[in-house]
Structure 1
Amino acid sequence: MIRDTIKAAQISAMKSGDKARLAAVRLILAKLKDKDIELRTASAVPDDDVLVVDVLQKMAKQRRESITLYLEGGRQELADIEQAELVVIEEFLPQQLGEDEVKAAIEAIKSELGATSMKDMGKVVAALKARHGSQLDMSKASGLVKAALS
């Protein structure tokens, strides 16, 4: 389980004295705890690995956006901190598909669903997310779907 790997990384960072890594891992664990508390009242709780991957993907997206904003604002030191956190977060995410692999998956889904126009974009994106959601960045993937259907 991914959560166990993250907890082991916390212990390892504590033992090695790597304060930056320890802070990033603790941040991940805090977000997971927040999500657990949020889901206490939910009727359907997803699989733990699915939950962890979802939280990690959101955190990675936030870091990428922050890095862009910090660089535009001329705050390189803050961008470097966010980049260091992003590296730690991405370490726990499943291996991401390359652009060519995503395009191949989109083409397979398009032919399977018979999708030909932009009206079918929702179906294609939904099928893509269901099959490969943990292995790709959906914001980039939706752009590739749009390009493939236009």
Structure 2
Amino acid sequence: MTTALRARFTEELKVAMKGGDKARLSTIRMIQAALKDRDIEARGTGKEPLGEDEILSLLQKMLKQRQESIAIYDQNNRPELAASEREEVAIIESFMPKQMDEAEVKAAIETAVAATGAASMKDMGKVIAALRGEYAGRMDFGKASALVKARLAG
């Protein structure tokens, strides 16, 4: 099962190899290795290889890891390591769909709250699940979670 993103990774890998772009090449290889690990894990449990949404979720997780590393490197005065991580972030983001701005996120939350009939904090899981299904890879769910909590709290 080849998704559009998988094909794009392969194509970008070839371009990076031909162009001698070592940073892009290593980052794409890292993405493909993580993808392969997840596919093997899925196969072990009898599931299909990752689809577009799961791939976007994986990329989102990789971005978050790098952003945490950047904060740590900046804190510990390691600008060269932080710069390397920032370069990886830029490359990973190039494969992601355009991120939603705060106004779009708030509008999506209102739609999800209305669609799920959420009325209190105990419905937060339903709202987040609806958002994940609709906006995987385009929304920062850490920030969205806080906004959903504020919306449902009153």
1:82 matched residue in structure 2: 85
For 1:54, the aligned partner's letter is: S
When the two structures are superposed, what TM-score results if normalisation uses the length of structure 1?
0.91
Tell me the equivalent position of 2:70: 67
Structure 1 segment 1-150 matched on structure 2, within 5 A: 1-45=4-48, 48-150=51-153
Displacement after TM superposition at 1:47 (Å)? 5.0
Q: Per-residue displacement from partner, 1:27-50 (whole Å, max 9, x unpaired)?
A: 111111111221221223265222
Structure 1 residues 46 and 136: CA distance shift in structure 2, 3 A: farther
Separation of aligned partners in 1, 2:52 and 2:112: 25
Could you tell me how far 1:102 is from its partner in structure 2? 0.7
CA distance in 1 between partners of 2:31 and 2:112 (Å): 33
CA displacement at 1:3 relative to structure 2: 0.8
SS of equivalent to 1:58: helix
Structure 1, residues 38-92: CA drift from partner, whole Å, max 9, x if none? 1221223265222321221111111111111111111111111001001111111
Shift of 1:101: 0.6
Higher helix share: 1
Q: Which moved more, 1:125-134 or 1:19-28?
A: 125-134
The 8 Å contact of residues 53 and 136 in structure 2, kept in 1 or not, is answered as no
Q: Distance in 2 between matches of 1:56 and 1:24?
A: 11
Asked if the contact 2:42–2:49 (Cα under 8 Å) also holds between the matched residues in 1, the reply is no
For residues 46 and 14 of structure 1, the distance between their equivalents in structure 2, rounded to whole angstroms, comes to: 26
Unaligned runs of 5+ in 2: none
C-alpha deviations, 1:123-142, integer Å up to 9, x for none? 21111112212321111110
Q: CA RMSD in A?
A: 1.5
Return closer, same or farther for 1:5/1:74 CA change in 2, 3 Å cut-off.
Answer: same
Cα shift readout 1:89-147 (whole Å, capped 9, x = no counterpart) = 11111222111111001111222333232222122111111221232111111011112
Question: Please, what TM-score do these two structures have when normalized by structure 2?
Answer: 0.89
